[in-house]
Structure 1
Amino acid sequence: MATDVKVPTLGESITEATIGQWLKKPGEAVAVDEPIASLETDKVSVELPSPVAGTLSEQLFAEGDTVEVGAVIARIGEGVATAAPSAPAAGAKTGDGQTVVAGTPVNPVGAGENPALREDHEAAPAEHADLTLSPAVRRAVLELHVDPSKIHGTGKDGRITKDDVLLAAKAKEGAPAPVHEPEVKAPIAAAAPAAQPARITGERHEERVKMTRLRQTIATRLKEAQNTAALLTTFNDVDMSAVIDARARYKDPFEKKHGIRLGFMGFFVKAVALAARDVPSVNARIEGDEIVYHDYLDVSVAVSAPKGLVVPVVRNAESMSFAKIEQAIAAFGKKAKDGTLTAEDMKGGTFTISNGGVFGSLLSTPIINPPQSAVLGMHRIEERPVVKDGQIVARPMMYLALSYDHRLIDGREAVTFLVRVKEAIEDPTRLLIDL
């Protein structure tokens, strides 16, 4: 008797999802709680586990299809795995006399063919027939003519990513061509498309890729912010010397005690919490014809994920220690990379900090994350000449940008807030004595 696999409840207000990738194929064995598919929602990507052990007997939707919460998308049958119906048994003969190895027809060794070359190509599909490749990765493998069995995957659970394929292709181009390569007359795999000629310099190509649900949501929300809020950005620069000195002095004992590196973000979160006490409107939001003020600071920290920018929330940051802040941010960064962030991780948030400096950004005008009213943009640190005590000296400087909703926050309040952050960073002692 088959067991239905349904789309689970994915979070508040989430009613549908997109099938991002099937991780198991029909006929493959699955264990209890083993992921069989990845689902993309408006906020996160989650893996769908199998409710029972058995064999994946049926996929009711294809990758890229939109499914509603509660919909049956697959069925798990009892018993052990069997070969997929479309794959002939290993060693079977096809109508044209080709030998099938792991479902892939290959030419038999013939006169003038290099047996070692055949074995190299033949063994890989047989040994690695269970490789799970996403559509984008599969397309890259075919276009670049690389062997996925020889690629070390850096994705979750060792899965191969598109970047892994590109690196393998680049390494292949740099390697000397084998002597026997020109002797290969017939295609190695009939199921794969014929090898394409080398691209001519100047040739133009286009590729259409459907936007992920996460990217669609990001586009909608950012455009909504521009259409609704009266956006304005104010700038300042900050001397990072004191924070850099503090990190250099305490990074080793800090890491030894707390098991986490002391980063810049902890200083900025504490500085924002301090400044928000003096300028509470920056940590507020508009709701209808009312202003909602918060006596807590839930900081949305922008984190780069494989499929886009996500903003998990560090809650009650105003009462957290440096160590707790750094541990929370590091945990979110790992979950974003692994694709295990949940909708609850990104729910809420009263203020956002975005650090474009890690990518080399010198200056930017960040967009607020509705219904929040402000976002602080951090940028790269670089030495610039500044005047100190009448002398021109080099200092590690960073530009800060505060984008805010002018409907709620006046220019004077925005500038005051940013100056408070600047003062706390240039003199971290203020963070300790609450000044």
Structure 2
Amino acid sequence: MTTEIRVPTLGESVTEATVATWFKKPGDKVAVDEMLCELETDKVTVEVPSPAAGTLADIVAAEGETVGVDALLGNISEEGNAGPEEVKPRSDEADGERVQAKSEETPDPAPAQASGGDTIDVMVPTLGESVTEATVATWFKKEGDQVEADEMLCELETDKVSVEVPAPAAGVLGKILKPEGETVEAGGKLAEMTSGAGGAAAAPKPEAGTQEPEAAPAAKASDKDIEDAPSAKKAMAEAGISADQVTGSGRDGRIMKEDVQKAVAAATSARSAAPEAKAPPRAPVPADDAAREERVKMTRLRQTIARRLKDAQNTAAMLTTYNEVDMTEVMALRSQYKDEFEKKHGVRLGFMSFFTKACCHALKEVPEVNAEIDGTDVVYKNFVHMGIAAGTPQGLVVPVIRDVDSMSFAEIEKAISEKGRRARDGKLSMGEMQGGTFTISNGGVYGSLMSSPILNPPQSGILGMHKIQDRPMVVDGEIKIRPMMYLALSYDHRIVDGKGAVTFLVRVKEALEDPRRLLMDL
């Protein structure tokens, strides 16, 4: 009997992956659940276990190939005499996962088909890179409700995004193990459900803790040729640490990306001489006032925002410099072409595309504002991934528009509109909020006249836009009323000097006061 090895579910909005490493070669013996290969997506690294015991017959997708969800990776020739009734048809699997063939060492005492329905675990899905836990925000179903395959059961809230959990099969929701407000870990069990006789039953996922525990990872011996995860190699190179400084938690002591992150965090904590400052205790509140107060727990997103902003202040030598720009020419140009622009491109012409273009122009002249510090190195970026800060009902998020320096005005406006809509709907993925090299924050939409924006680590610069206000200005020796805007550039003084910061703002000012300079690359 031959069992297919297929690409598992990769996570929300992830449709393809790259085959990074095969741990086995054709002809090798494999045990059930033994790691066969590793896939890399733009968010996480996924290990593919063996669905059955036997011999790896062939490899269909070689290392370096891109594969989609449920694509065929290879085949296993099974050992033993597992009966055909022990493998359920794939058409019955609503959640896209394959039924694992049972080895002869673990015989099934009784066919599950004879019972009234299989018990299926509802598990916490993959939450994304560096996210290990979430809070149960809302249950859309209650115990005893009938559910269809892929129907939304509940919603989880992480410190970055909201994640919906679909039903793995059609059936009845049995016991809810994690009620609303409770914190759950990635891979944890949320609830149990029973597959219904009328719906397409899915094979139950293995319960956490039912598999035979693996031996503790052995120390990585120097004479062993153990291939570390590609994502771990990249993380070690970026952090400037070697493999002997990291303890691997993967199979046979293999180093995973999470191990590198733990090692970097441990090293950072060890270097910190001063203990972390704790918030002072709250002053006593009179009983009359306390009775009129309302205490609400901070959301995970708000906690993350608070922590990152404070980390930025504690880490960077942050300084802000200011300038002002006359918006007359930009407003006139926008007024002249906005109707024709919208008719042709299907999107409104706003001010953000002008500011984005002006910043990309200035970053070419002052590249340190687009760089970051990595240990004792300065990493210059020969591209611009622009973060556009957006306020949402849940808090401030910064979606990233990649390679914005190569985009047209229309492409920038479309990207900003699409990212803003997804941000308001809470549909942004973590990948869409990572990797930015510079950020623009527009406080003017809320009426802010002047502010000092806080850096978005590890970036070295952020531009603050503000309200456009008519003010009397001296133009060619005469006092005229002009639409003026204050600009604020906050920057990391460890890498950006005052001269560079002022030059950056002047170049942005010049480009906006005479937009033709952008066309002439001046």
Same-fold call, TM cutoff 0.5: yes
Alpha-carbon shift at residue 30 of structure 1 (Å) = 2.5
Amino acid at match of 2:354: F
What corresponds to 2:140 in structure 1? 23
Contact 1:240–1:426, Cα closer than 8 Å, also in 2? yes
Q: 1:384 aligns with which of 464, 468, 471?
A: 471
* Closer/same/farther in 2, CA of residues 66 and 432 from structure 1, 3 Å limit: same
What corresponds to 1:431 in structure 2? 518
State yes or no: 1:38 paired with 2:155: yes
What corresponds to 2:493 in structure 1? 406
- Name the CA distance, whole Å, in 1 between partners of 2:351 and 2:291: 43
- Name the CA distance, whole Å, in 2 between partners of 1:339 and 1:49: 17
What corresponds to 1:76 in structure 2? 193
Q: Deviations over 1:104-130 (max 9, x none)?
A: xxxxxxxxxxxxxxxxxxxxxxxxxxx
What corresponds to 1:284 in structure 2? 371
Q: Deviations over 1:116-156 (max 9, x none)?
A: xxxxxxxxxxxxxxxxxxxxxxxxxxxxxxxxxxxxxxxxx
Unaligned runs of 5+ in 1: 82-201
State yes or no: 1:52 paired with 2:169: yes
- Name the CA distance, whole Å, in 1 between partners of 2:197 and 2:330: 59
Q: Deviations over 1:45-79 (max 9, x none)?
A: 22222222223222111212111111110223233
Equivalent residue runs for 1:67-146 within 5 Å: 67-79=184-196
Alpha-carbon shift at residue 276 of structure 1 (Å) = 0.2
- Name the CA distance, whole Å, in 2 between partners of 1:424 and 1:402: 16
| Secondary structure of 1:211's aligned partner | coil
State yes or no: 1:219 paired with 2:309: no
> Greater shift after overlay, 208-217 or 43-52?
43-52
Contact 1:46–1:339, Cα closer than 8 Å, also in 2? no
Equivalent residue runs for 1:323-362 within 5 Å: 323-362=410-449
Q: Which has the higher helix share?
A: 1
Contact 1:280–1:293, Cα closer than 8 Å, also in 2? yes
- Name the CA distance, whole Å, in 2 between partners of 1:69 and 1:424: 48
Alpha-carbon shift at residue 20 of structure 1 (Å) = 1.6
Runs of 4+ in 1 over 4 A off after TM superposition: none
Alpha-carbon shift at residue 27 of structure 1 (Å) = 2.3
Equivalent residue runs for 1:288-307 within 5 Å: 288-307=375-394
Alpha-carbon shift at residue 37 of structure 1 (Å) = 1.4
* Closer/same/farther in 2, CA of residues 203 and 286 from structure 1, 3 Å limit: closer
- Name the CA distance, whole Å, in 2 between partners of 1:397 and 1:80: 69
Contact 1:29–1:80, Cα closer than 8 Å, also in 2? no
Q: Deviations over 1:295-318 (max 9, x none)?
A: 100011101122100001000010
Greater relative contact order (Cα 8 A, min sep 6): structure 1 or 2?
1
What corresponds to 1:366 in structure 2? 453
What corresponds to 2:505 in structure 1? 418
What corresponds to 2:360 in structure 1? 273
Equivalent residue runs for 1:176-187 within 5 Å: none
Identity %: 62
Q: Deviations over 1:360-401 (max 9, x none)?
A: 111100000000011000011111111111111111111100
Q: Deviations over 1:2-53 (max 9, x none)?
A: 2211111121111111112222222223332222211111211222222222
| Secondary structure of 1:430's aligned partner | helix
Using the size of structure 2 for normalisation, the TM-score is 0.59
Using the size of structure 1 for normalisation, the TM-score is 0.70
| Secondary structure of 2:383's aligned partner | coil
Q: 2:331 aligns with which of 244, 265, 284?
A: 244
What corresponds to 1:207 in structure 2? 294
- Name the CA distance, whole Å, in 2 between partners of 1:2 and 1:328: 44
- Name the CA distance, whole Å, in 2 between partners of 1:13 and 1:57: 31
Amino acid at match of 1:18: T
- Name the CA distance, whole Å, in 2 between partners of 1:21 and 1:282: 42
Q: 1:11 aligns with which of 124, 128, 150?
A: 128
| Secondary structure of 1:334's aligned partner | helix
- Name the CA distance, whole Å, in 1 between partners of 2:306 and 2:181: 19
What corresponds to 1:135 in structure 2? none
Q: Deviations over 1:183-235 (max 9, x none)?
A: xxxxxxxxxxxxxxxxxxx9961111111111111111111001111110000
Contact 1:18–1:65, Cα closer than 8 Å, also in 2? yes
Amino acid at match of 1:79: G
* Closer/same/farther in 2, CA of residues 246 and 19 from structure 1, 3 Å limit: same
Amino acid at match of 2:364: R
| Secondary structure of 1:254's aligned partner | helix
Cα RMSD of the aligned pairs, angstroms, is 1.7
Q: 2:395 aligns with which of 308, 316, 319?
A: 308
Alpha-carbon shift at residue 294 of structure 1 (Å) = 0.3
- Name the CA distance, whole Å, in 2 between partners of 1:204 and 1:247: 53
Alpha-carbon shift at residue 80 of structure 1 (Å) = 9.1
| Secondary structure of 1:43's aligned partner | coil
| Secondary structure of 2:156's aligned partner | strand
* Closer/same/farther in 2, CA of residues 434 and 27 from structure 1, 3 Å limit: same
